[in-house]
Amino acid sequence: MKRSLREWLLRIAVLLLGLTVAHLGVSLFLLSDLGSDPFNVFVQGLFRTLDKALRWPFLTHGRTHVAVSLLIILILLFADRSYIKIGTALCMIFGGPIIDFFSALLSPLLAGAGLPVRICLLVAGCVILAFGMTIVIRSDAGTGPNDLVALVLSEKRGWPFSRTRVCVDALFALLGFLLGGVVGAGTLVCMFLVGPVAGVFLPVNGRWIERLIRALCP
């Protein structure tokens, strides 16, 4: 069914809300300083391998991240372009600035935090990330490229999203480690916590988002 402009704008607003929440979680995760998330372990390993082999001065972690994200999008454009929506581009554009904003805001407050506080930040960050990520997915306005990998496999193969996410994260972490990326305690916590928590939040967030859409876009 074709969506009205009003519904699209509402879904995009929900996506941006979820993106903000998710990247608050990412910021807390990064501020815990206990390891990178699995996708960024892969990006880090790939960047280090390419940098060592090619020595391109313009190659950075951030640009490698963008390149991998674009590659995922290109693959999906050929495989099933229905997953590529305006929200996918918005996730790419606004994700970094949101993380920078929360990091700058919270960093002075959390500077010098002890290990118990950092562990709490790590766990809270993973839960908040999972909650926000599922809002983005259930907005049905698009999903970030790295999240699309697990989502597409889950829906195409009929696998539970929580287990699929754990397996995809484990694959990213393993490939990144083999390429020279750094796996920390936070990587393992993120790998085994985000997927199962997201599996709990997906139906919950899906219900309230669809109720909201029906109420405001009759």
Give pLDDT tens digits for 92-103: 888 878 888 888
Range of the domain at 173: 5-216
- Residue 133 confidence (pLDDT): 92
Task: Select the more confidently predicted residue: 12 or 52.
Answer: 12
Task: Report whether pLDDT(59) > 80.
Answer: no
* Torsion angle of C-alpha atoms 76, 77, 83, 89, degrees rounded to 10: 100
User: What is the predicted pLDDT for the residue at 95?
Assistant: 81
Number of structural domains (the chain) is 1
pLDDT above 70: residue 37: yes
Look at residue 5 and tell me whether its pLDDT is greater than 70: yes
Whether residue 134 is predicted with pLDDT greater than 90 in this model: the reply is yes
Provide the pLDDT confidence category of residue 1 given band limits of 50, 70 and 90: low
Which pLDDT belongs to residue 9?
Answer: 93
Residue 164 CA to residue 193 CA, distance in Å, equals 12
At 64, is the pLDDT very low, low, confident or very high (cuts 50, 70, 90)? confident
pLDDT given at position 112: 81
